[in-house]
Amino acid sequence: MSEITLRCISCNTEYGPEEIIYSCKKCGGLLEVRMNPPEAGFDDFSRRAFGVWRYREFIPIEEGAEIVSLDEGGTPLYRCERLAKWVGVRSLFIKYEGRNPTGSFKDRGMTVGVTKAKSLGSKAVACASTGNTSASLAAYAARSALTCYVILPSGKVAMGKLAQALMHGAKVISVKGNFDQALKLVMDISRNMGIYLLNSINPWRLEGQKTLAFELVDQLGYVPEFVAVPMGNCGNISAIWKGFVELEDAGLTRGKPRMFGVQAAGAAPVVEMLRKNLDRLSPMKSPETVATAIRIGNPVNWPKAVNAIRSSNGLYDAISDEEIVETQKMIACLEGIGVEPASAASVAGVRKAVSSGSIPKDAEVVCVCTGHLLKDPEEVISVCGKPIEIPPDLQAVSEIIRPEQTPLL
């Protein structure tokens, strides 16, 4: 394998792959994993199982490392004809990341991040999380016999995610504060107590998440025109963009998609920054949205996400909670695909962009739906209501059943 380095995206200082650092020692900038383009191509990949490790040569983990895996990635790409009509676009696909082992895209990153933690000799791992990162890290830590600490914003983590972190045996710490405060805390802990940090500021994690781009090219046979991604801490959009850049640099594809970053209106600091064309992010103090996964006011990876959007001639927008919930229902009812609220933001963003004309009606769009419906059952009950309760008799049930009812669209 070619030489691997960690490089600061601001000042280009390089570090060795064995260094345990999460930001540049000189300037504090974000780090990125760099390597020369590998020789392998899609013919080599096609002989292997569909998933993250199919793209082994592009994953900068040294040969011989013991890989920690739960068979992540290899998620379906659904063509959605009825949803496309509702959105108003010619062709729409959903890349359904809810089909990962713990029900979100985070597993792509954790298989690589936890493998790295093991190969560095770490005994304990930690993260702050709005929920999915903690569910995923807890599972991968269990799989590899690592001690796991997760720090969660009290009362703001969806029930399914909390259940996962608890059951997989993580030490779950709830802080009276929001995600941004929890992240600051866990960064201090990891620095002072030698616990390996697995938030998306950890560049190794993004190396797993970039494989979503590889899978899209594998599934479509070409590079899609638009890829819409919900943004929270902004790791995922950065990782997917990195995947497309590396594919082109290796000569495996030509061209890159326009990246579309979507935030919830109550937690949209990156969209604000781009709208005002600023060169720095102003953090939002009290982010609030029904999509608790992306309830983040100070996303650490904003420089990478802004670069992805600007250099892809991309798009960005913020979506109201009402639009997020309506879209979540339409995805579920029109296509049978169950996603959590944050995931629906990508589709909602595309719908808005098509109606305003910033995405043409004859375009083809891939929406990344990042997490499973069952992650947040309480939100479902609050927006759908409880089931109708009746006595166990035919009269009562026949008052409800209307066989002539037509489908939604």
Q: Which residues bind ligand AN7 (CB under 6 A)?
A: 104, 129-133, 200, 230-236, 293-294, 340, 342-343, 370-371
Please state the closest distance from residue 36 (CB atom) to ligand AN7, in A.
Answer: 26
Please state the closest distance from residue 260 (CB atom) to ligand AN7, in A.
Answer: 13
Radius of gyration of the chain measured on its C-alpha atoms: 21
**Complex with ligand AN7: residue 38 or 235, whichever CB lies closer:** 235
Please state the closest distance from residue 99 (CB atom) to ligand AN7, in A.
Answer: 13
Which residues have a Cβ under 8 Å from the Cβ of 399 and sit 6 or more positions away? Answer: none
303 CB-side CA count, 13 A:
12
> Is beta strand 91-96 parallel, antiparallel or unpaired with respect to 77-79?
antiparallel
Report the helix count and the strand count for the chain, using DSSP H and E: 15, 13
Closest C-alpha to 52, from 242, 229, 215: 215
Please state the closest distance from residue 343 (CB atom) to ligand AN7, in A.
Answer: 5
**Complex with ligand AN7: residue 46 or 311, whichever CB lies closer:** 311
- Distance from C-alpha of 125 to C-alpha of 145, rounded to nearest angstrom: 11
Closest C-alpha to 230, from 380, 85, 98: 98
**Complex with ligand AN7: residue 234 or 252, whichever CB lies closer:** 234
Please state the closest distance from residue 375 (CB atom) to ligand AN7, in A.
Answer: 7
- Distance from C-alpha of 8 to C-alpha of 324, rounded to nearest angstrom: 35
Instruction: Specify the DSSP class assigned to residue 70.
Output: S
**Complex with ligand AN7: residue 335 or 340, whichever CB lies closer:** 340
**Complex with ligand AN7: residue 304 or 351, whichever CB lies closer:** 304
Closest C-alpha to 183, from 96, 35, 299, 11: 299
Please state the closest distance from residue 188 (CB atom) to ligand AN7, in A.
Answer: 17
Contact 209, 108 (CB under 8 A): yes
**Complex with ligand AN7: residue 239 or 252, whichever CB lies closer:** 239
